[in-house]
Structure 1
């Protein structure tokens, strides 16, 4: 193609560097503008990243006046709603970093803006691009497990609590549930084909984040560092969802899919105190089934690859914009997990089961 895709970057934190690095590997893309609300930060960032031809702005609305094919939104959670809606309404396709939004209503607004504008809203869940995540989906949706009636997912870090905007309820909306729990939910729900949730019964706590022995910003810690929930879905499916930023334990267990014909056990890749969650790759997959009257466990060979998953998600967005394809990870899907997280927080606060509020 002769005309290059024109991309803008909104937000200049660490994650924006990864977006720029990925875009630079595509010869049909040019980054033409950068915006950040902190005066002068966008200009300094652009210079540091070698974007000498890119315009710099202290407001995303000014950036959106440029002729752009798409934007990467890399702002703190609290800004996801306004930057996404403004971008879509100005005719720009959007690649948005996770989590989707601070509130469920914000997520609803964002998907509605995408529908009304006819532009793409795709979410940045790079683990989906792992060939082994795709293998997991293939196994489950092939029917090999029979009727899947119970799923357990989530993960726990021995120690892995962030700070700053991540621990402010006003800025982040939620803590571990949104930060790393969104990966666990997407891993399970995408494998299942994103069924519709009905109710949530949940518990959350922040014993570690609010303790100065474990967190240097304990006095500012406002969100949950641990949560567990039982989610009921249509078609008599239940999911146990558990997540932790910090705990006195090595693991919260594997992800499992229980079916009437077979079961699947999946462990995440990675080691160390910040590992144990589904923000990366797959460590192992084991199929549990009966053969010839005996209990059998069959290791599923993993797909070896050297893909940079983060690059893959950025490139898929760019290619979808270029080729006029639908959103690779559509906002309508991620709105479902946003509704579950919203239900978790409401249920934990009310100390009872609540209905999931999701528009048809």
Structure 2
């Protein structure tokens, strides 16, 4: 069996999750770790018992090694440049979400991945939930008819992070790209990645900038709440809403309305940090008509104990080993980045804005 040599760029918590998942794969060796903080890579290697790994402070030195692939687990604003450098160094890339901060960065990243014939796979582990897959199959099969409206998002009553997550310089944005990207991926992947045309949005940070609710209020620079209406070219609209904190227990389920039926989906879990789409499905219910009248039924969920994060890492590593395409290709996530870019522009300008994308997104 071919052994895959992997480097990990970034030494924070999410990088640790990558390392633990790689350690469970017998055909993978983590041979290098880079973190710009002096000594942090060496500490990471010791913590996760990566005995064959070399430490680096400059990721560009790591990229000079004979590696098959890298996991990029760094702050959001660095995703673009590190991905470009890794792809140009001939490495296959698994990039943690969000893909980038701006749309132009995302387009550039996909262009280089195609130019170099290297995969750029983006880390959206909820796609590996069998129930998420079932939802997509139902919608794509036409059981709902033509879907004309969808609604997604989620909200934590309290669940604001701190540190790099609230710095515009490092994160680029807040709840929209931290947890909102999961909701958008759920909807867009289910719908088959339709092309967005316009976005009208509103964002606030009332909670994050209030010392009553956040210990780093004076440093809080991003949004903690956002809502948007996205219009697509197939005469469909999507309502998107997300919150890190609010005076409410929920922002409601994800729904898909079609000419022949509808589906309501609730997220898994409970508690102050629950209510967003970064885990499993809680329930699904189908609404249709039959020859007698209106009917509704609960859809039987697939009972599983999969570690979705580990499934993401495994699929990427196997794709590298078997020379398969990227499991979650960057060209799909470009659409999401276009919407997030539109949300931020619309909120700032306080008006509806147009979304500009290359004519053929898969060939940017």
Same fold by TM (over 0.5)? yes
Structure 2 equivalent of residue 31 of structure 1: 30
Structure 1 equivalent of residue 20 of structure 2: 21
Instruction: Compute the displacement of 1:332 (Å).
Output: 0.5
Structure 2 equivalent of residue 47 of structure 1: 46
Structure 1 equivalent of residue 323 of structure 2: 324
Structure 1 equivalent of residue 169 of structure 2: 170
Quote the Cα distance in structure 2 between the aligned partners of 1:283 and 1:56.
41
Q: Kindly indicate whether the alpha-carbon contact (under 8 Å) linking 1:268 and 1:278 is maintained by their aligned counterparts in 2.
A: yes
Instruction: Compute the displacement of 1:293 (Å).
Output: 3.4
Moved over 3 A (4+): none
SS of aligned partner of 2:223: coil
Q: Kindly indicate whether the alpha-carbon contact (under 8 Å) linking 1:161 and 1:225 is maintained by their aligned counterparts in 2.
A: yes
**Structure 2, unpaired ranges of 5+:** 360-364
Residues 1:311 and 2:310 aligned together: yes
Quote the Cα distance in structure 2 between the aligned partners of 1:165 and 1:112.
28
Quote the Cα distance in structure 2 between the aligned partners of 1:117 and 1:147.
38
Instruction: Compute the displacement of 1:40 (Å).
Output: 1.2
Structure 1 equivalent of residue 230 of structure 2: 231
Instruction: Compute the displacement of 1:104 (Å).
Output: 1.4
Residues 1:351 and 2:332 aligned together: no
Deviation per residue, 1:95-145 (Å, 9 max, x gap) = 000001111111111111101110000000000000000000011011000
TM-score by length of 2: 0.98
SS of aligned partner of 2:287: strand
Q: Kindly indicate whether the alpha-carbon contact (under 8 Å) linking 1:102 and 1:171 is maintained by their aligned counterparts in 2.
A: no
CA RMSD of aligned residues (A): 0.7
Structure 1 equivalent of residue 88 of structure 2: 89
Structure 2 equivalent of residue 143 of structure 1: 142
Instruction: Compute the displacement of 1:358 (Å).
Output: 1.6
SS of aligned partner of 2:158: coil
SS of aligned partner of 1:9: strand
SS of aligned partner of 1:153: strand
Structure 1 equivalent of residue 362 of structure 2: none
Structure 2 equivalent of residue 202 of structure 1: 201
Quote the Cα distance in structure 1 between the aligned partners of 2:335 and 2:220.
27
**Structure 1, unpaired ranges of 5+:** none
SS of aligned partner of 1:72: strand
Deviation per residue, 1:211-240 (Å, 9 max, x gap) = 000000000111110000000001101000
Aligned length: 359
Most deviating of 83-92 and 40-49: 40-49
Structure 2 equivalent of residue 258 of structure 1: 257
Deviation per residue, 1:268-323 (Å, 9 max, x gap) = 00100010010001000000011233221110000001111000000000000011
Instruction: Compute the displacement of 1:190 (Å).
Output: 0.2
Quote the Cα distance in structure 2 between the aligned partners of 1:96 and 1:140.
28
Quote the Cα distance in structure 2 between the aligned partners of 1:46 and 1:288.
51
